[in-house]
Amino acid sequence: MSMLGFTRNFSPLKILTEEQLEVIHRGALNVLEKTGLRIEHERALKLFEENGCRVDYDDRRVRIPPGVVEECMRRCPSSFHLKARNPKNDMILGGNTVYFGPFPGMQTVDFDTWEPRAPTREEFYDGVTVLDALENLHYIHTYSPWFGFEGLPPVMCIPEGFAAEARNSTKVLRSASSKDCEIFIIEMAKAVGTDAPVSCCVSAPLTYYAEAVEASYRAIEADFPVFVTGGAIMGGHRAGDNCWGDTNQQCRAVRWASAGTAYKARGKSSSPELPIPAGYAGRGSCFWCYRGFFSQCGI
């Protein structure tokens, strides 16, 4: 059983023609092949090289042939399953189903002075309980309802926030990665029997830093999904440096290529464990990458 979510019973808004989408797609393939990506992780560089990509180890740059990208896109399944603590809250991503989750907040407001302040631990836990009770909210973000609570050192905000959510919610929990905190998040998720999609942020211009890639490997080794997203906070907006000029829209084909290359390395003819478009229209975004980013090879 899974959460129903909302079903979209109408066609997506079509702003671009198929021909225009094809131009964007071909442009992205050209960037991947000619400019390439900077991958600051030795293990990942070796994996790309083993699967037909050109790797410059001095510059840590990977150039991905169009055929590799196209093959990875071909292998992408249409849907996949995310496990929550309570099976009735499981999610199936794909198709016309739409799910909603909260967006993180930095601080709360003191009702007496109307000044912003850090929430207390009790307020944080109560906030998670409220989010868990909302029937039209289907998953909870790591930083929700706030980024930590008073008395926490910044490095502990992510793991303590996840711990609060694991204790007070039975919905799908999306986690994050920074300063190796995913090590503890993965162990907590295993303890309560839930998937915990770990984030991997792409940084402008066209760079995967070692910390993000290592977090992805840890998630994969735990058989957890990886959430690949543009990391606007990890490199400013640099119009023209990315495939379409915006950090948060950066090189979507990279996501197909990186995870698909890994699956190809395992010699599989079909793939239940590759990136999935959460909101796929034409060649649109691939936000959730499922158990496949960079490597399952040799794990």
Could you please report the per-residue DSSP string of 206-223? TEE-HHHHHHHHHHHHTT
Q: What's the pLDDT tens digit per position in 202-214? A: 888 899 999 999 9
The answer to whether residue 295 is domain-embedded is: no
Q: What is the CATH number of the domain that holds 238?
A: 3.20.20.480
The answer to whether residue 149 is domain-embedded is: yes
The answer to whether residue 10 is domain-embedded is: no
For residue 80, pLDDT over 90 is answered with no
The answer to whether residue 236 is domain-embedded is: yes
The answer to whether residue 28 is domain-embedded is: yes
Distances in Å between the Cα of 129 and the Cα atoms of 1, 145, 170 are 22, 10, 10
* Amino acid letter for position 279: G
Average pLDDT over residues 3-29: 88
The answer to whether residue 128 is domain-embedded is: yes
Number of folded domains that form the chain: 1
Q: What's the pLDDT tens digit per position in 126-181? A: 999 999 999 999 999 888 899 899 999 988 999 999 999 999 999 999 888 888 99
Q: Please report the pLDDT score of residue 295 as a whole number.
A: 30
Q: Please report the pLDDT score of residue 57 as a whole number.
A: 97
Lowest mean pLDDT, pick from 87-96, 177-186, 274-283:
274-283
| 241: confidence class by pLDDT, cuts 50, 70, 90 | very low
* Amino acid letter for position 204: A
What is the average pLDDT score of the chain?
Answer: 78
Structural domain harbouring 84: 19-289
The answer to whether residue 259 is domain-embedded is: yes
The answer to whether residue 51 is domain-embedded is: yes
DSSP annotation of 35: I
* Cα 112 to Cα 38: distance, rounded to the nearest angstrom: 50
